[in-house]
Amino acid sequence: MSPDHRRRTAHNRRPAARQTGERAPARRQAPPSSDELHICVICAGELVHPFEWVAEGPRHWRVLLRCPDCEAIREGLFTQAAVDDLADQLDQGAGVLIRALQELTSENMAAEIDVLIHALNDDLILPCDF
């Protein structure tokens, strides 16, 4: 199994069931295209992500996409190039999230160190704290 195949099938998850009374988003059937799949065709949001993607022949993928902004769901048959571009967008988005997490973690650790230094300087830490 190739790394590309594993990467695509790692996103094979069905959406969680909706609670009673919630309106299900409309499903759109898209023709084969090389559109930017990470952009919503309804609201133009740039966070569209796949729920399922299954190879349909050597050059096409059937992909179920969901927009978290407007909750639109779209299913279509897309070219390998379009799916590769989507996978690249997902990788870039993951990189942005990881960098944000690292930055936030670093800021939180710096704040914790400042609190510890203040506590040590003011003799606020006693043997009974351990």
- pLDDT tens digit sequence for 47-67: 999 999 999 988 999 999 999
Boundaries of every domain in the chain: 3-10+25-129
Give me the amino acid identity at 53.
W
* Residue 74: band (very low, low, confident or very high) from pLDDT cuts 50, 70, 90: very high
Which pLDDT score, from 0 to 100, does residue 127 have? 83
Which pLDDT score, from 0 to 100, does residue 111 have? 96
- Cα gap 69→48, rounded to integer Å: 8
Residue 32 contacts residue 77 (beta carbons within 8 Å)? yes
* Residue 15: band (very low, low, confident or very high) from pLDDT cuts 50, 70, 90: very low
- The chain-wide mean pLDDT, for the chain, equals 80
- Work out whether strand 27-30 and strand 49-55 pair parallel, antiparallel, or are unpaired: unpaired
Average pLDDT over residues 65-77: 94
* Residue 97: band (very low, low, confident or very high) from pLDDT cuts 50, 70, 90: very high
Which pLDDT score, from 0 to 100, does residue 129 have? 83
Q: Which has more pLDDT, 83 or 26?
A: 83
- Cα gap 44→47, rounded to integer Å: 9
* Residue 115: band (very low, low, confident or very high) from pLDDT cuts 50, 70, 90: very high
